[in-house]
Amino acid sequence: MNYLITIIGPTAIGKTSLSIALAQHFGCDIISCDSRQFFKEMTIGTAVPSEEELASAPHHFIQNKSIFENYSVGDFEKEALEKLEELFAKKNIQIMVGGSGLYVDAVLKGFDEFPDIDESVRSEINSKFEELGIEFLQQKLQELDIDYYKKLETENPQTLQNPQRMKRFVEVCLGTELPYSSFIGKRKNKRNFTPIVIGLEANREIMYSRINQRVDIMLEQGLLEEVENLFPHKERNALQTVGYRELFDFFEDKTTFEFAIEQIKQNTRRFAKRQMTWFKRTENATWFDFETDRNEIIKSITSKIQNS
């Protein structure tokens, strides 16, 4: 039987160091499912593991794409499953780690199946979006699938600002004349592994303190210069993320540098809160305080494997 040890939790909680410790203990590889770390142009602002960390265990899906490529969660699901099949042929225990809940779910559970949508529907939505902006998509989704809109508003509000995903929701509604939510949960995707999900958490004060500290460290490492180099490409989808958007505003003279840094910290804290809301819904996850002795976590994982 194959086992995929999956480490989840908010940003800056220590997932990377735990994943390396587990990979060294079990003698296996690490699949990264942090959607911000896929892109080779983004290093500091995405907290890519250091060269030393990357050398400590074999890693996959880190800085393997460019911001100029279109790369979807569906693409990741396909590639990650192919890589896991290859890795499981060598060792029946592998590790996945990352803070992108949607990408974790894609590998563990897969996606629902949607009908093909006529290209004319897609073209019409694109032209309306170009003319009216994200508000058009938000309003349309409210009209066509108010239940799903409210679910996003409560559980994943940043998605309401994501044009690519909002276009998809609306095109499914218009193209099928059915709510997007009516297609969810209908398909069961088979996996050739058993997930063992380990969550890391901390109380809010500690978590927020670690986030603030990480932002300060990123600045010392050269975050400002990294964002400045990417400024000419600020419209790219991959760059619509915390740590980049706020400094783009600074380079456009919309805010002061100090305010931009405070916004990065605040928005990262909000992001961490949303991550926890998402991950706490994960089935059969075992949660540990981030300072828990790693041997205790290893013991828990080993017990689950032996008893499965």
Question: What count of Cα atoms within 13 Å lies in the side-chain half-sphere of residue 98?
Answer: 28
Look at residue 304 in the predicted model and tell me its pLDDT: 96
Residue 16 has pLDDT above 80, yes or no: yes
Residue 11 annotated as binding? yes
Look at residue 187 in the predicted model and tell me its pLDDT: 66
Residue 10 annotated as binding? yes
Regarding whether 230 and 297 lie in a shared domain, the answer is yes
Instruction: Please answer whether residues 175 and 114 qualify as being in contact, where contact means their C-beta atoms are separated by less than 8 angstroms.
Output: no
Number of domains in the chain: 2
- The answer to whether residue 102 is domain-embedded is yes
- The answer to whether residue 120 is domain-embedded is no
Q: What is the mean pLDDT of residues 117-124?
A: 90
- The answer to whether residue 96 is domain-embedded is yes
Rounded alpha-carbon distances, angstroms, from residue 306 to 13, 187, 283, 292: 28, 30, 20, 22
The whole-angstrom separation of Cα 12 and Cα 45 is 12
Both tokens assigned to 59: 């890693």
Residue 199 annotated as binding? no
Q: What is the mean pLDDT of residues 77-102?
A: 96
H-type alpha helices, 91-235: 101-108, 119-132, 134-144, 146-155, 163-176, 204-221, 223-230
CATH number (domain holding residue 103): 3.40.50.300
Share above pLDDT 70 across residues of the chain, in percent, rounded to a whole number: 99
Per-residue confidence at 190, pLDDT binned at 50, 70, 90? confident
Look at residue 249 in the predicted model and tell me its pLDDT: 97
Burial pattern 96-117, b for ≥16 Cβ within 10 A else e, equals: bbbbbbbbbbbbbbbeeebeeb
The whole-angstrom separation of Cα 34 and Cα 235 is 20
Look at residue 32 in the predicted model and tell me its pLDDT: 97
Residue 13 annotated as binding? yes
Q: Which domain holds residue 27?
A: 3-111+189-307
Residue 46 annotated as binding? no
Last residue within a domain, chosen from 142, 158, 183: 183
Instruction: Please answer whether residues 124 and 132 qualify as being in contact, where contact means their C-beta atoms are separated by less than 8 angstroms.
Output: no
Amino acid sitting at position 165: R
Quick check: pTM over 0.85?
Answer: no
Regarding whether 32 and 175 lie in a shared domain, the answer is no
Per-residue confidence at 3, pLDDT binned at 50, 70, 90? very high
- The answer to whether residue 240 is domain-embedded is yes
Regarding whether 75 and 18 lie in a shared domain, the answer is yes
5 - beta bridge partners? 95, 196
Give the residue among 115, 116, 113 at the shortest CA–CA distance from 188.
113
Residue 171 phi/psi, 5-degree rounding, is: -65, -35
Residue 188 has pLDDT above 80, yes or no: no
CA end-to-end span of the chain, whole Å?
9
Share above pLDDT 90 across residues of the chain, in percent, rounded to a whole number: 86
Regarding whether 234 and 135 lie in a shared domain, the answer is no
Residue 217 annotated as binding? no
Regarding whether 223 and 170 lie in a shared domain, the answer is no
Residue 110 has pLDDT above 90, yes or no: no
The whole-angstrom separation of Cα 289 and Cα 307 is 23
- The answer to whether residue 207 is domain-embedded is yes
Give the residue among 182, 217, 243 at the shortest CA–CA distance from 42.
243
